Amino acid sequence: MTRIAFPRSLASAAKAAEMIVNVAPKALVASGWLGLTSPPELVAELEPAAKRCAARVDAETVATLVGGKTIHAVVLPELVSRHNAPARAEAMAAALGKLGLGGKKSVVVVGLADDAHLLPCANAIARCLPLFTRKGGKKQTEGQASILFLRADGTPVEVTREVKETVAAARWAACAVDTHPAEMTTAIFAREVKKLVRGLKHLHTTEITGAKLLEQKLGGIHAVGRCAVVPPRLLVLDYRPPKARRCFGLVGKGVIYDTGGLSLKAGANMGTMKSDMGGAAAVAGAFRALAACAFEHRVICALPMAENAIGPDAFRNDDILTMHSGKTVEINNTDAEGRLLLADGLSYVCRKYRPEAVIDAATLTGAQLVATGHRHAAVISNREGFECLAVDVGLASGDLCHPLPFAPEFYQAEFKSNVADMRNSVADRSNAQTSCAAQFVWAHIEDLDPAWLHVDLAGPAFRDGRGTGYGVALISEILRSFD
Ligand SMILES: [Zn+2]
């Protein structure tokens, strides 16, 4: 486990460090920025090589060894297309990920072209320092990464409480995703979330478990999780500061493991399904980051949790469920279970608390990866302004996202059932599947018409075999941008 610290000055941290990493955009390096962070003899050694770096698309690294310490200069690329974050957070994470910061005493000095790049850069470094491992039994190396941000003129940039909380919550979310399902049952996940928010002010927590879900008409959550050894549940966190004028809702899909249910996933597709609670981890992390920084508005965070398992009482294809919205759903694919959790969670939050805006996050469709890839989540919204806000916040926070169509009238027919209000899976899998899944969820709150943003983060929440904490920064920063 490696701790992250944000010291105000370098001197003491650098003395104890085994590794020092200087990282800055190419233009800053070219203007002599390394001279502000390093002694002249080191600059003489590193700067010519750093200036020669092509660093057009990917970051490049040069290194030297001084007094037993490895000193790196990472040159961030010039190219930033309009759908990439100006902070170059992706390039930074890719380059730093190769340096092996974990388990060491290291110092990372980041040159910022703009103070606003602080959050995405801090998150990018944190992503290189995952918390979860079961390597080596109990003998894990403790490390510390001290991170300092400097402007082009060498003056330090203060790391705000918001950034520290967001980075910590994103690391927590990544760790929750990385933890394997034997150690992350629905009961353990609920306990970990409650630990995460322990001590926060103005907080009220409710947990509805097992058969009690049916008393609350949460037939979707109950059906998906009812046959697992550890029962399904809905955990609701209600942060209500006394002067709150507005109310926002967050809902995250928390499938702690997805076998596909009776529509069993083929072996090769089942691995990595521990990541199917990435949406719940993201909204819980965002909730923590907001409430810990005295966010001024009320936030309701609902986390439907279930294990999509197989057993004598498993829900079946052909079963008809009555959902919280009152609509009936004929199951035609038990592997399209996440939308049942989201639909119930959203309907519960929107009917009980009437938030003016609600965001749901889920590892919902493999089609999201086809449409927007590993780095951009897909966002779908019934309000143009909400969609634009999400894209802008994505570029600013480094949690990138890109819009897909919202046109329920085009997609409803995909879910047509002869015996219920709808089916849960589409007829034609090549017809805008990610938008269709969103439309299914929307159908359970459309009568209330809240401003709604759906974030399908199947790709960016889990990359290269690791949870990323994607979504914590995006979602908390979206809510912070409402005044
Ligand atoms: Zn599934």
Cα separation, 360 vs 343, whole angstroms? 10
CA 273 to ligand 1 centroid distance, Å? 9
Q: Could you say which DSSP state residue 80 is in?
A: -
Using one digit for the tens of pLDDT, what is the confidence trace for 340-356? Answer: 999 999 999 999 999 99
Cα separation, 151 vs 389, whole angstroms? 27
Buried b (16+ CB within 10 A) or exposed e, 313-341: ebbebebebbbbbebebbbbebbbbbbbb
Query: What is the secondary structure of 370-384 as a DSSP string?
Result: HHHTTTPEEEEESSH
The upper half-sphere exposure of residue 190, i.e. CA atoms within 13 Å in the direction of its Cβ, equals: 22
Angle at 480 between CA 239 and CA 238, to 5 degrees: 10
Residue 470's alpha-carbon distances to 180, 188, 211, 434, 467, in angstroms, are 18, 21, 32, 18, 8
The pLDDT score that the predictor gives to residue 40 is 85
Comparing C-alpha atoms, which of 274, 222, 281, 223 is closest to residue 250? 281
Q: Of the given ranges (5-14, 80-89, 470-479), which has the lowest mean pLDDT?
A: 5-14
**Is the model's pLDDT at 317 over the cut of 80?**
yes
Cα separation, 125 vs 145, whole angstroms? 9
CA 175 to ligand 1 centroid distance, Å? 21
- The residue ranking higher by pLDDT, 188 or 9, is 188
Cα separation, 65 vs 237, whole angstroms? 50
Spatial contact of 282 and 457, defined as CB atoms under 8 Å apart = yes
Using one digit for the tens of pLDDT, what is the confidence trace for 362-399? Answer: 999 999 999 999 999 999 999 999 999 999 999 999 99
The pLDDT score that the predictor gives to residue 98 is 94
Using one digit for the tens of pLDDT, what is the confidence trace for 36-68? Answer: 888 888 888 888 888 888 888 889 898 888 888
Comparing C-alpha atoms, which of 405, 476, 482 is closest to residue 439? 405
SS3 135: coil
The pLDDT score that the predictor gives to residue 308 is 97
Backbone angles phi, psi at 165, to 5 degrees: -65, -40
**Is the model's pLDDT at 441 over the cut of 70?**
yes
Instruction: Calculate the CA 129 to chain-centre distance.
Output: 15
> What is the number of other CB atoms lying within 10 angstroms of the CB of residue 403?
18
The pLDDT score that the predictor gives to residue 48 is 87
The pLDDT score that the predictor gives to residue 369 is 96
pTM above 0.85, yes or no: yes
The pLDDT score that the predictor gives to residue 155 is 92
Q: Give the residue ranges of DSSP H helices in 216-355.
A: 219-225, 267-270, 278-291, 338-353
Q: Could you say which DSSP state residue 35 is in?
A: H
CA 336 to ligand 1 centroid distance, Å? 5
**Is the model's pLDDT at 274 over the cut of 70?**
yes
CA 337 to ligand 1 centroid distance, Å? 5
Average pLDDT for 247-274:
94
Active-site annotation holds for 265: yes
The pLDDT score that the predictor gives to residue 394 is 98
CA 262 to ligand 1 centroid distance, Å? 10
Average pLDDT score, the chain? 94
Average pLDDT for 283-311:
97
CA 406 to ligand 1 centroid distance, Å? 22
CA 149 to ligand 1 centroid distance, Å? 42
Multiple choice CATH, 165-480, 3.30.2130.10, 3.30.10.20, 3.40.50.720, 3.40.630.10: 3.40.630.10
The pLDDT score that the predictor gives to residue 476 is 98
Cα separation, 189 vs 172, whole angstroms? 12
Query: Which helix or strand (DSSP H or E) is residue 189 part of?
Result: helix 186-197
The pLDDT score that the predictor gives to residue 137 is 59
The pLDDT score that the predictor gives to residue 24 is 94
**Is the model's pLDDT at 463 over the cut of 60?**
yes
The catalytically annotated residue of 339, 375, 423, 480 is 339
The catalytically annotated residue of 265, 327, 351, 383 is 265
Residue 413's alpha-carbon distances to 336, 416, 417, in angstroms, are 17, 5, 9
Average pLDDT for 448-461:
97
Cα separation, 232 vs 222, whole angstroms? 6
CA 256 to ligand 1 centroid distance, Å? 11
Query: Which helix or strand (DSSP H or E) is residue 94 part of?
Result: helix 89-97
Spatial contact of 260 and 326, defined as CB atoms under 8 Å apart = no
Share of the chain above pLDDT 70, in %: 99
Query: What is the secondary structure of 232-258 as a DSSP string?
Result: PEEEEEEE--TT---EEEEEE-EEEEE
CA 361 to ligand 1 centroid distance, Å? 15
Active-site annotation holds for 127: no
The pLDDT score that the predictor gives to residue 46 is 86
Domain boundary assignment for the chain: 2-159, 165-480
CA 338 to ligand 1 centroid distance, Å? 6
> What is the number of other CB atoms lying within 10 angstroms of the CB of residue 385?
9
SS3 291: helix
Using one digit for the tens of pLDDT, what is the confidence trace for 135-155? Answer: 885 566 789 999 999 999 999
The pLDDT score that the predictor gives to residue 454 is 98
Fold identical between 2-159 and 165-480?
no
- The topology under which CATH files domain 2-159 is Rossmann fold (3.40.50)
- pLDDT band for position 323 (50/70/90)? very high
Cα separation, 322 vs 338, whole angstroms? 16
CA 436 to ligand 1 centroid distance, Å? 15
Comparing C-alpha atoms, which of 150, 93, 181, 144 is closest to residue 464? 93
Query: What is the secondary structure of 152-163 as a DSSP string?
Result: TTSPBPP--HHH
Query: What is the secondary structure of 368-423 as a DSSP string?
Result: HHHHHTTTPEEEEESSHHHHHHHHHHHHHHS--EEE----HHHHGGGG--SSSSEE
SS3 150: strand
Q: Which amino acid is at 345?
A: G
Cα separation, 138 vs 370, whole angstroms? 39
The pLDDT score that the predictor gives to residue 42 is 84
**Is the model's pLDDT at 470 over the cut of 70?**
yes
CA 66 to ligand 1 centroid distance, Å? 52
The pLDDT score that the predictor gives to residue 83 is 97
Average pLDDT for 94-116:
93
The pLDDT score that the predictor gives to residue 138 is 57
The pLDDT score that the predictor gives to residue 44 is 86
Average pLDDT for 108-123:
96
